[in-house]
Amino acid sequence: MRHHHRSTYAVLDRNRRRLVIDRKDHLALRLARQGDPEPFHVEETATSFAIDWKGLYRIEGGTFIFTDRDTGRVTATLGYPTDKPA
């Protein structure tokens, strides 16, 4: 579990995959795939919250690349709104 940063925000791509990303540490948490919810864990208190990040992301040109922490699976998405996450 890692506490969030101010650079954490959600994005949605054209394939209905919803992610929360942390731009500072390049962490990613997939919330949905093909519009279907994915399991995730967030702990919240009155003053903060922590996220169980599921993987890492990087951007290469116009491609968003996600690496799953548990499986090592790498997925690349072309046409992702890469002008925002960096």
pLDDT tens, 31-70?
877 778 888 888 888 887 888 889 999 988 888 899 999 9
- So what's the pLDDT on residue 8? 60
Judge whether 72 lies within some domain. no
Q: pLDDT for 7-31, tens place per residue?
A: 565 555 555 567 788 888 888 888 8
Q: Which residue has the tokens 């919803």?
A: 18
Give the structural domain span for 10.
Answer: 2-56
66 lies in some domain:
no
pLDDT of residue 55: 92
Asked whether residue 76 is domain-assigned, the answer is no
- Please tell me the total count of domains within the chain: 1
How far apart are alpha carbons 58 and 28 in whole angstroms? 10
Residue 32 in any domain: the answer is: yes
The answer to whether 50 and 2 are in contact (CB under 8 A) is yes
Q: Whole-angstrom Cα distance, residue 33 to residue 30?
A: 7
Contact 28, 20 (CB under 8 A): yes
